[in-house]
């Protein structure tokens, strides 16, 4: 057995836990932004291919206490790096330190690399390393003087699905978009509307769930180059994922945007994701959306108005939303925004059923949920 750390955006731990349970995992250690699980090596491809709302999958190599540099350095040298990393590997070290005596991340980065090099010099009987091969990202995390050393199996974050050629002006991360759908009551058969769809990410993620398309099928991963992870594990995981896909169903995903170019780009993104048949994209302003759409759910990411010059414009947009949807009594609304004043402008006489704090990258946002009335 091995230990894996699945990282995620703060606030999405419960969503990722539910995804892991769906993949057959039962025992978890959950903390802010991370879930630790016991697994097998063949689970690494499966997790990378299937996780929708997580950020990365890390292989945990060791954990130990350290309050000074000797305590930090020595256990790293003792690890069997030669079993994991070839001698031509490009080695990159990333890390963080929180509430610990070893507070200098830069110094710790240098020490980790020196420790790994020292070990590999001895085992490979060489004096220099060209670092011309595949990249291996070694991570360290120090929290309250406890060190974890990891190897990143993912590479570019799991939000990099490979379908979004046109991200839009203020893109919603694919992993967060998938989480919004999972936090809603959306299921196959319900009609979902995004009235300000931008690059179409929310609807594309919903369509991929509807069709049971593994989000990582169109990309590659760092651990595909690991010498100790059999290529047959990847081949089998991809084969199983392709066979698990469902066919096209009726078109019940609708995206509207006032920007015609955004609609074109969203359509191209959906085509690249292989779900264009599932989604109807319309060039339409939010004020012109008819009740005949009869959506069961609205999930949307309207402009935030972070800059002062944009606030009045965004406030006017919220008022348009309020007017457009005031008669939609049987529809649930999920609106993510960084504007804490949003409830003052939308459905002013109804308090949100639930408010969740989430992060879109580094931007703190709130997800406002309104149940049907």
Full DSSP string of 190-244? S-EEETT-TT-HHHHHHHHHHTT--TTTTS--GGGG-TTS-HHHHHHHHHHHHHH
Other CB atoms within 10 A of residue 349 CB:
5
CA distance 49 to 44: 9
Q: Given pLDDT bands bounded at 50, 70 and 90, which one contains residue 32?
A: very high
pLDDT of residue 307: 54
Q: In Å, how far from its chain's centre is CA 300?
A: 17
**pLDDT tens, 293-345?**
779 999 999 987 655 446 778 888 999 999 999 889 899 999 999 988 899 99
- Residue 168 has a pLDDT of 67
Average pLDDT, the chain: 94
Burial of 292 (0-12, 13-18, 19+ CB in 10 A): exposed
With beta carbons less than 8 A apart as the criterion, state whether 206 and 213 touch: no
Confidence of residue 250 (pLDDT cuts 50, 70, 90): confident
Contact 176, 53 (CB under 8 A): yes
Task: Give me the pLDDT at residue 155, please.
Answer: 98
Contact 44, 15 (CB under 8 A): no
Handedness of CA 191, 168, 33, 369 (dihedral sign): negative
Asked if residue 58 lies in contact with residue 148, where contact means CB atoms within 8 angstroms, the answer is: no
What are the structural domains, with CATH classification, of the chain? Answer: 2-152 (3.30.2130.30), 174-212+251-370 (3.40.50.150)
Tell me the C-alpha distance between 262 and 240, whole Å.
34
The strand pairing partners of 147, in sequence order, are 64, 142
For 98-126, write each residue's pLDDT tens digit: 999 999 999 999 999 999 999 999 999 99
């Amino acid at each position: 057995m091995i230990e894996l750390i699945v990282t995620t955006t703060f606030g999405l731990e419960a969503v990722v836990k539910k995804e892991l349970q769906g993949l057959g995992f039962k025992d978890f250690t959950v903390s802010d932004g991370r879930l630790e699980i016991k697994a097998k090596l063949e689970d690494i491809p499966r997790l990378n291919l299937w996780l929708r709302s997580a950020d990365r999958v890390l292989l945990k190599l060791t954990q130990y206490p350290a309050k000074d540099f000797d305590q930090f350095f020595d256990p790293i040298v003792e690890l069997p790096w030669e079993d994991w990393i070839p001698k031509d590997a490009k080695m990159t070290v990333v890390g963080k330190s929180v509430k610990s005596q070893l507070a200098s991340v830069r110094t710790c980065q240098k020490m980790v690399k020196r420790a790994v090099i020292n070990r590999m010099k001895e085992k490979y009987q060489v004096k220099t390393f060209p670092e011309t091969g595949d990249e291996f990202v070694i991570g360290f995390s120090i929290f309250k003087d406890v060190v974890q050393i990891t190897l990143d199996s993912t590479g570019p974050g799991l939000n990099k699905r490979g379908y979004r050629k046109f991200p839009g002006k203020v893109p919603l991360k694919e992993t967060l978009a998938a989480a919004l759908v999972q936090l809603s009551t959306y299921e196959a058969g319900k009609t979902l509307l995004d009235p300000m769809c931008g690059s179409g990410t929310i609807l594309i993620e919903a369509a991929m769930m509807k069709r049971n398309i593994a989000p990582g099928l169109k990309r590659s991963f760092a651990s595909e180059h690991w010498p100790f992870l059999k290529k047959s594990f990847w081949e089998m995981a991809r084969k199983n994922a392709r066979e698990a896909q469902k066919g096209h169903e009726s078109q019940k995903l609708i995206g509207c945007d006032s920007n015609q170019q955004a609609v074109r780009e969203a359509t191209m993104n959906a085509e690249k994701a292989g779900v264009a048949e599932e989604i109807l994209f319309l060039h339409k302003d939010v004020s012109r959306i008819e009740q005949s759409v009869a959506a069961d759910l609205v999930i949307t990411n309207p402009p935030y108005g972070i800059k002062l010059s944009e606030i009045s414009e965004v406030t006017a947009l919220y008022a348009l939303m309020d007017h457009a949807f005031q008669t939609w009594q049987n529809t649930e609304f999920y609106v993510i925004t960084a504007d804490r004043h949003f409830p003052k402008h939308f459905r002013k006489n109804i308090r949100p059923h639930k408010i969740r704090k989430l992060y879109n990258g580094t931007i703190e946002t709130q997800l406002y949920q309104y149940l049907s009335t």
